[in-house]
Amino acid sequence: MSAANPLATELKATLGIALPLAGAQLSQVLMGFISAAMMGRLGGEAFAAGGLGTTLYFTVVLVFQGVLTAVGPLVAHALGAGQEGRIGGIVAHGILIAAVLAAIGMAMIGQIDAVLTAIGHPPALVAATKRYLDAAVWGLPAGLGFALLRTYLSALSRTWPVMVLLVFCLALDAALTFGLIFGRFGLPALGIAGSGYAGALTQWVMFGGLALYAATQPNLRHHGVLRALLRPNWKAAASIVRLGWPIAGIIAVEIGVFTATALLAGLLGTASLAAHQIAIGIGSVTFMVPLAFSHAATVRVALGPGQHRRALSGPRRSRQCRIGCHRAAPSLHRRALPGLRRRAGNRRRRPARSQGYARAAARRHHRLLGDRLSRRLAARLPA
């Protein structure tokens, strides 16, 4: 029976992670489409303000999510290296970082109206955007928490629950947005702010759904995330930030271009800003699928070195023992040489040998002594 093709095996594993993630990403994009379509019924000004507010909100969210993306490779590497005891600490410290980032993000979003006014946007557009952001900002902690749990489950190749949850939340978000904007289903009519509140509520459901899933799975409970959360190690948290801030920087540069374009479009009027939001929304669909594959590739790359290191740990340890013992053998031989000479002084003199022969004999003696030491040392080390 022939061995499995490594390329086919890796492709299957990557697709198993990427396809559900792509479905989840597209579901989130569709949430934005549905929200924009419903805000469009309120008029062009509301549509433009809601689109600008959504762009600014998700700029902050996605940049901070970039820091938390570092949790995925670290979890995958620990899993591949057979060090599952580290996973709970990694996720717990990610939760602490997410809490700090949420506080910073909420403070930043609270000051965006001043920035828009300073740039020169019309007061009516600034006021409508502020109403949307004041409602949407309450979903920021849940959005970061959801991103953390998503990258945690993706590192463990558990992406199907993420997609199923987001498909459910897509329908929930559509119902909440429709009800809170227009006052249907017994809900108050809040206009553009209703779209923000609907998005915030949906993000809390998304976060709660993944948290409930992780808490009810026996294979995930033994990671001990809550136990690690009660004993924080800020050095470990700093390692996540060191790995995550370059990712956040790259995302900030990429998204910053689109955000800057939206801000400039707003200076041209609400019609130009609304048209820009429609074009960007269509383009974001094509971005989501490659993004899902990039997350899957990150997990697979991080998982591989850990497995390779675990597989080579025994031979590597043995090789290090042999190298160390062979290096120590000449020193031990030189220390033991005076005693050997004294012990051999009473023996009958042997015929003199050449200097080259003596050196060759010394090297053979060093090798034998090194082999003997390495065998004894390897027997005392754990496998």
Residue 117 corresponds to which tokens in the numbers above? 């006014």
Q: What pLDDT does 356 receive?
A: 54
Nearest to 20 by CA among 298, 287, 292: 292
Burial 62-92 (b: 16+ CB within 10 A, else e): bbbbbbbbbbbbbbbbbbbbeeeebbbbbbb
Please tell me the pTM assigned to this model. Answer: 0.73
319-367 pLDDT, tens digit per residue, is 443 344 444 444 444 444 444 344 444 444 444 445 554 555 555 555 5
15 versus 100: the higher-pLDDT residue is 100
Q: What is the rounded average pLDDT of the residues 32-48?
A: 85
Q: What pLDDT does 94 receive?
A: 93
CB 293 within 8 A of CB 18: yes
CA dist 156 and 165 (Å) reads 17
Please name the residues in contact with 8: beta carbons below 8 A apart, sequence gap of 6 or more. Answer: none
85-137 pLDDT, tens digit per residue, is 888 888 999 999 999 999 999 999 999 999 999 988 899 999 999 999 999 99
Longest distance between any two alpha carbons in the chain, whole Å:
113
Q: What pLDDT does 159 receive?
A: 80
Q: What pLDDT does 6 receive?
A: 73
Q: Where are the domains of the chain?
A: 7-312, 314-342+355-380
Per-residue DSSP letter, 381: S
Q: What pLDDT does 47 receive?
A: 87
Q: What pLDDT does 303 receive?
A: 66
Q: What pLDDT does 341 receive?
A: 45
177-224 pLDDT, tens digit per residue, is 999 999 999 999 999 999 999 999 999 999 999 999 998 988 887 787
Give the SS3 label for residue 1: coil
| CA-CA-CA-CA dihedral for 92, 94, 99, 102, to nearest 10 | -160
Q: What pLDDT does 342 receive?
A: 47
Nearest to 14 by CA among 304, 351, 347, 367: 304
Burial 331-370 (b: 16+ CB within 10 A, else e): eeeeeeeeeeeeeeeeeeeeeeeeeeeeeeeeeeebeebb
Highest mean pLDDT among 156-160, 233-237, 377-381: 156-160
Average pLDDT, the chain: 77
Burial of 3 from C-beta contacts in 10 A (0-12 / 13-18 / 19+): exposed
Q: What is the rounded average pLDDT of the residues 265-284?
A: 81
Asked if pLDDT for residue 295 goes beyond 90, the answer is no
Given the structure tokens 């290191």, which residue do they identify?
A: 309
Q: Which helix (H) or strand (E) holds 376?
A: helix 355-380
Nearest to 259 by CA among 30, 48, 46, 52: 52
Please name the residues in contact with 114: beta carbons below 8 A apart, sequence gap of 6 or more. Answer: none
54-82 pLDDT, tens digit per residue, is 889 988 998 998 899 889 888 888 887 77
Asked if pLDDT for residue 369 goes beyond 70, the answer is no
